Structure 1
Amino acid sequence: MAKAGYDKRNWAQYSQWIAVIMSERMSKLGITQRMLAERMNCTQQYVSKVLKGHKNMSLETICKIENALGIEIIKGPDENGQ
């Protein structure tokens, strides 16, 4: 069984990685946190938390991010060369 601290560090690292990807894409598209929030149907405050890398996101949220920014964060088995 994994230790709780290890689990937290893992999801936190992924959250930070996703935040970097989001920030880069938002910059490229020229959109603000408020604009992204509208696309994701959530609040600007929620987007801010996600962009700080401190939010443990659900798969639903990750899918909303992908759709709103036109990017792929999670790849299926075929896309990972399996």
Structure 2
Amino acid sequence: MTKGLERLLELSKGRVSTWREEAEWREANKEWLEYSAQIAVQVLFAIKNKEITQQQLALRMGVCPQYVDKILKGRENLSLETISKVEQALNIPHICSRTDESRM
């Protein structure tokens, strides 16, 4: 066995991999994750065009910057209230309009 492989086995000893559970979770939540990612792209585009920072967006929304970061990663299950706050903070209507109407 090579030293690199030995080291890898030593580092991973006792750790249980959760990749399978994470993959299953992503598959089970695929619909809203895709939707959340679309919203994240729209928000990123808007803050770039309006030349504001994530910190400024957080202040406008009344949330912490870490929450804005979660939104922008596209993995947050957004409430209608949060979507409305984003729309108001960025002055953009209907941020959550779906591009694929066949899913509605």
In the superposition, relative to structure 1, how do residues 10 and 68 fare at CA in structure 2: closer, same or farther (>3 Å)? same
Using the TM superposition, give the Cα deviation of residue 73 of structure 1 relative to its aligned residue in structure 2, in angstroms: 1.4
CA distance in 1 between counterparts of 2:66 and 2:39 reads 17
In the superposition, relative to structure 1, how do residues 14 and 27 fare at CA in structure 2: closer, same or farther (>3 Å)? same
Q: Deviations over 1:3-45 (max 9, x none)?
A: x866510000010000000000000000001000000000000
- Normalised by the size of structure 2, how large is the TM-score? 0.64
Rg comparison, structure with higher value: 2
| Off by >4 Å, runs of 4+ in structure 1 | 4-7
CA distance in 1 between counterparts of 2:56 and 2:68 reads 10
Greater RCO structure (CA 8 Å; 6+ sep): 1
- Normalised by the size of structure 1, how large is the TM-score? 0.81
Tell me the secondary structure at the aligned position of residue 63 of structure 2. coil
Q: Quote the sequence identity (%).
A: 44
1:43-58 counterparts in 2 under 5 A? Answer: 43-58=64-79
CA distance in 1 between counterparts of 2:35 and 2:48 reads 20
Partner of 2:36: 15
Q: Cα RMSD over matched residues?
A: 1.8
Q: Structure 1: where are the runs of 5+ without partners?
A: 76-82
Amino acid at match of 1:63: S
Aligned residues: 73
